[in-house]
Structure 1
């Protein structure tokens, strides 16, 4: 393992999960019209996953939310916060909605939830806790964990994916098809009714870290860029890519090319991978 290989892809930090509070009598209803999740259906705990789309149905953010004591607590990656703040500024007209940052909160992935967490996200046998107590230390690399758990990030959003391109786990956990209108909902519903997209987000595990510009070569001869990578606790590496839908067959063997190195991997579904 070389430092160059490890540093070739930007790495994400758990500290970049930013919790916010939406307050006001219209907060939950307003947010319901902005995100893919049915906000009114969120239980007090734990929180749920959600996505945010633009008018073309392209996903630009992923996060977690819960409704508690008449307010909405929402967590987004730091790279998405500015756009969300702009969304609030532009789309809150007459509604009683105010956005507040929660200072001094750190994120930590651990086997047990933090009882004092403002958000506690179930993640298989793990919990992502955003809390004002404890240190922002996690046993698992953030990029590796998010690919395995099916949580898309900035690298995936840069490819402007449709909701359905993020795969079945994202659809089942972060999208409501019965909640009514939200930004991008018409496109999301139209694509769902047609039942077909051109790409699919996939995960691949390899034995070595990948250098910048790594690609995935499918049996069809089509290539796709590796989007991000992370190190798993068992010292394997996991990476993500958006493959042609014809190539994105779970279990299919593909070739991962990284500089002079050629590795083989089988396609897996993000969100259906056991995180060691």
Structure 2
């Protein structure tokens, strides 16, 4: 999947701008992705986690200038991202501002579901979803960097090659299936549908079931 394909499925984005002398070091201390060494114009995906290791926000980080960074996330979740970054900003030379999505672009929801890209509020529920199982840890986590909030859970599961209790999967479903419907394997309920387009769906499925294709980026 190239950048143009991904852009078409993202839709409108809220942007949190972080700028100042400590912008790089502060973000490096807060994100699951490495920030140091980024070139101007470079982009990297990252999780912004709670100390428990659960996801607050999935975001894309862009280095706009030497002391300016932009974090974009799904429309409607910029306030949550801003609040989370402000929460730990103590004696830091950096200002944070929110630029709300203008709604000019529309996401290709069918394409998003087809490739398995998770959306905030659907596949990723703030304060509930853990990175393992989203299919994004290889893309959004630097396992060689220093400490950041939530690192312990992420690193522990990776070092033990631990499988998440549930994984995000692409599924073929019956016409009329809706988000929130149960996923059934035989006579057992093994998960929940999160997004649907026709007969293609995304959903979280228990590791005990082989249904669907595990999402992996």
CA RMSD of aligned residues (A): 2.7
1:86 — aligned with what? 83
1:172 — aligned with what? 138
* Structure having the higher Rg: 1
Gaps of 5+ in 2: 1-8
CA distance in 2, matches of 1:216, 1:54: 28
Instruction: Judge conservation of contact 1:144–1:239 (CA < 8 Å) in 2.
Output: no
1:113 — aligned with what? none
With over 3 angstroms needed to count, the CA separation of the structure-2 counterparts of 1:208 and 1:44, relative to structure 1, is: farther
TM-score for both structures, normalised by structure 2: 0.81
CA distance in 2, matches of 1:102, 1:145: 24
Instruction: Judge conservation of contact 1:63–1:74 (CA < 8 Å) in 2.
Output: yes
Deviating more after overlay: 74-83 vs 205-214: 205-214
TM-score for both structures, normalised by structure 1: 0.65
CA distance in 2, matches of 1:162, 1:52: 11
With over 3 angstroms needed to count, the CA separation of the structure-2 counterparts of 1:209 and 1:14, relative to structure 1, is: farther
Instruction: Judge conservation of contact 1:28–1:67 (CA < 8 Å) in 2.
Output: no
**Offset of residue 173 of structure 1:** 0.7
CA distance in 2, matches of 1:63, 1:171: 13
1:67 aligns with 2:63: yes
CA distance in 1, matches of 2:111, 2:128: 21
CA distance in 2, matches of 1:216, 1:76: 28
Gaps of 5+ in 1: 1-11, 108-134, 253-266
With over 3 angstroms needed to count, the CA separation of the structure-2 counterparts of 1:137 and 1:185, relative to structure 1, is: closer
1:208 — aligned with what? 175
CA distance in 2, matches of 1:81, 1:66: 15
1:23-52 CA-to-partner distances (Å, cap 9, x unmatched) read: 001112111121211112434345221111
1:269 — aligned with what? 214
1:121-180 CA-to-partner distances (Å, cap 9, x unmatched) read: xxxxxxxxxxxxxx4245x22x7516625334212333822211213xx01111110111
Greater RCO (Cα-Cα under 8 Å, separation 6 or more): 2
